[in-house]
Amino acid sequence: MTIRSILVPIDGAPGSEVALDAALELGRRFESCVELLHVETDPVTALAGLSEGISGAAVGLAVEGGRAAAEARRKQVRRLAAARCGAKGLELAEAGSGPAVGYAAAWRHVVGRANEEVARRGRLFDLIVLDRPDAEAAGIASGVFEVALFDTRRPVLVVPPAPAEAPGRKVAVAWNGSAEAAAAVGGALPFLMQAEEVTVVAIGDDEDAAGPEGLVRYLACHGVRAAVRHVAPGSAAAGVQILEAAEALGADLLIMGAYGHSRLRELVLGGATRDILGSATLPVLMAH
């Protein structure tokens, strides 16, 4: 079991540059093809509903200006991406120009809506890498994180502004026995199988079959040795306790399930998920 294909949306914002660097490093580690997805918004779509009372000539000028700005941004982002790939010894090829085998990087430019494109295309990748979503910031992650996680059902690696250069040496697994946590562990097995240390972090003391000791036995079947760290429930939120435990362990990667109401278009993440996304200083691999 390994990771052979990685999707990283890139829009040129500082956060997406960090995500790109992380994706390329993981591509090297797992001998994966990394696809860089740049989604350009159609100015006609962007102006829909805003042109009432504006002359056709003015709308035409706005559309033309929007397309020129989008083209300039696309060229700028591609130059940046090519430079980042070049620093890793990779040539940035056009997606679909040939079979992608082993460590490679491919550029895909599409016109559409970022959330729709990531939701549709992300299902055919082993891993999606995003910068940490921030409701107050522009950029890709604030718009597509929920669809990447809930609509693709693929593991999503969320990268903080200053991640470890090669996360995954010491791994903490937040475990509560849920289907979401199990999905995260399944998606993270390639990381776990390469880790030097794995610790299962459990809030409370659950002794049933889906408890932390059961997870340790499951991981052992995959050749992964893991220890258990029980964290007594306290006054702090579960997400805060998980982060504190991961920090105390010196973990450079946290694996956890993500919780939310996936049937709603405006997805509401669970409290622990929100706390961790808002405060984590280490990469977090999530699945739903």
Q: What is the pLDDT of residues 40-91, one digit of tens each?
A: 987 666 555 555 556 666 656 666 766 788 888 999 999 999 999 999 999 9
Say whether both 77 and 121 belong to one domain. Answer: yes
Query: Which residue has 């280490």 as its token pair?
Result: 282
Q: How many domains does the chain have?
A: 2
Residue 115 near residue 149, CB atoms below 8 Å: no
Say whether both 224 and 258 belong to one domain. Answer: yes
Q: Can you give the CATH number for the domain in which 266 is found?
A: 3.40.50.620
Identify residue 228 by its one-letter amino acid code.
V
Question: Is residue 137, in this structure, part of any structural domain at all?
Answer: yes
Q: CB neighbours (10 Å) of residue 68?
A: 11
Say whether both 211 and 130 belong to one domain. Answer: no
Tokens of 13: 């914002």
- 266 pLDDT band (50/70/90 cuts)? very low
Tokens of 40: 């350009």
Residue 5 near residue 32, CB atoms below 8 Å: yes
Question: Is residue 260, in this structure, part of any structural domain at all?
Answer: yes
Query: In the predicted model, is pLDDT for residue 17 greater than 50?
Result: yes
Phi, psi (rounded to 5 degrees) for 120:
-75, -45
Convert the pLDDT of each residue in 104-119 to its tens digit.
999 999 999 999 999 9
Could you tell me which of 2, 9, 45 has the C-alpha nearest to residue 159? 9
Residue ranges making up the domain that contains 32: 5-159
Give me the pLDDT at residue 235, please.
66
Say whether both 215 and 99 belong to one domain. Answer: no
Give the whole-angstrom CA distance, residue 190 versus residue 114: 28
Tokens of 176: 């509560």
Over the range 44-64, which residues count as b (16 or more CB within 10 Å of their CB) and which as e?
eeeeeeeeeeeeeeeeeebbe
Convert the pLDDT of each residue in 136-174 to its tens digit.
544 445 568 888 988 999 999 999 887 767 789 999 999
Residue 126 near residue 100, CB atoms below 8 Å: no
